[in-house]
Amino acid sequence: MEKSLSTDSPLVAPPATDALNTTTYPVIAAISFSHLLNDMMQSVLLAIYPLLKLGLNLSFTQIGLITLTYQFTGSLLQPLIGLYTDRRPMPYSLPLGMGFTLLGLLSLSQAGSFGAVLLSAMLIGMGSSVFHPESSRVARMAAGSQPGLAQSLFQIGGNLGSAIGPLLAALIIVPQGQGSAAWFSLFALVGVVVLSLVGRWSSHHGANFHKRMKAHAGNGLSRRQIGWSLAILGLLMFSKFFYM
C-alpha cells in the first residue's frame, strides 16, 4: 500500500514535460474499473424491482416513482454537477460520489417502506451523478493523444458493470433476500480506495490540463456549431436509450 502512494506511482506522480500528450494507461484502467463498480452497483436497484414489489407490496406506480427518483438524481443532475466542476474542479469528489452509492446500498438493504426505497434510490442516483462528470474528465486527462481509446476503455468498464450487476443480484440478493444488498457496499469501499488514488493523480495534473484545454477551446468552432454538435449528440444518446 505504501508503494502505491509514493510519488513514483503513475497515479500520483507530478506531470512530466510531455505528460499532456502521454496516454496514462494505469489511470485509464483505474477509472474504467471504477466505472465498472459504479454501474454494477447502480444496476442492482433496477434488478431487484420484482423483489421489492413483492416484499413491500408496491404498485407499478410506486415502482415508476422509484425509477423517476433514481433517474432524476442519477441523470438529470449530471449536467449541473458537470457545469459546476468544470468551473471548480473537485478531483476528490470521485470517492465522495462512491460514498453516496455506498450509503444508498446500505439504506436499500434495510428499506422497509416505499419512502425508504425512494431515499435509497436518491442516494444511489446521486452517487452516479457525482461520479460520471468527474470520471469522464479524468479519462480525458489521462488520454493524452488518444482520447477515443481512453473514452472507449472507460465506457467498456461501465457496460461490463451494467451487465454483471443483475447477474450478481440474481445470485446473491434473490436467494438471500433484500438485506444481502449490503454486501455490495464492499464493492463501493474498493471503489472509494481506487478513486482516492485517481483523485490524487488528478489534483497533480489538473492545472496543466485545464491550461491546455483553455488554449484550444472550441478548436476554431463557433458557439452555434458547438451547440448544434451537442444537440445532435444528445439526440443520438436519447434515441439509443429510448429503444433500449
pLDDT in tens, 158-213: 999 989 988 998 888 888 888 888 899 899 999 999 999 998 888 877 666 666 66
Under the banding of pLDDT at 50, 70 and 90, the label for residue 31 is very high
Say if residue 4's pLDDT is above 60: no
CATH number listed for the domain at residues 22-218? 1.20.1250.20
Residue 27, all three cell numbers: 489511470
- Rounded to an integer, the average pLDDT of 121-141 is 90
pLDDT at residue number 17: 44
Domain boundary assignment for the chain: 22-218
* CA–CA separation, 120 and 142 (whole Å): 33
Residues 6+ apart with CB under 8 A from 48: 169, 173, 174, 178, 181
Global pTM value = 0.80
CB 208 within 8 A of CB 85: no
Say if residue 117's pLDDT is above 80: yes
Residues 6+ apart with CB under 8 A from 110: 116, 179, 182
Residue 128, all three cell numbers: 452516479
